Amino acid sequence: MASKKGATKPQAQQRQQQDKRWNAAEQACREIMSLLEALQPSLAAQQTSEQYAQMAAVYYKKIRNGRVLSPGDFNLAADVAASARRALQALSPALDFAGHPQSADCQRMLTLADAVLAAMSELKAAGRRQP
């Protein structure tokens, strides 16, 4: 029995980390979508930026009920983040929003997107380390 408990503890820790990552991605996606809506007038002024925002919305709709509940949903959350980041980059290639009227919203969305993409990158790097 002792060996059984020892074997499940790492699995439980992995599950906790996964749930934490998924919850963070879910919250980030919700906020990103809200910020994209708030930034819509600015994004509409730049066609490429608007197209990336639309792609983020398409990816977000594919996430089941807006909840990140599986690895597939997490991949879609990363796609939402990447599209949002590209929308911002089309708006300002240097990602410097100092002169933008909604600079705080742009910066917040960039921070959220980068956090989700960093979690995905970290996950991919961990997968490569395992034989």
What is the distance between the alpha carbons of residues 69 and 127, in angstroms, rounded to a whole number? 19
What is the distance between the alpha carbons of residues 98 and 56, in angstroms, rounded to a whole number? 24
For 21-35, the pLDDT digits (tens) are: 999 999 999 999 999
Mean pLDDT of the chain: 89
Q: Among 98, 116, 109, which Cα is nearest to 40's?
A: 109
For 36-61, the pLDDT digits (tens) are: 999 999 899 899 999 999 999 999 99
Cα 16 to its chain centre, rounded Å, is 19
For 67-89, the pLDDT digits (tens) are: 999 999 999 999 999 999 999 99
pLDDT number for residue 34: 96
pLDDT number for residue 123: 87
pLDDT number for residue 103: 92
pLDDT number for residue 1: 46
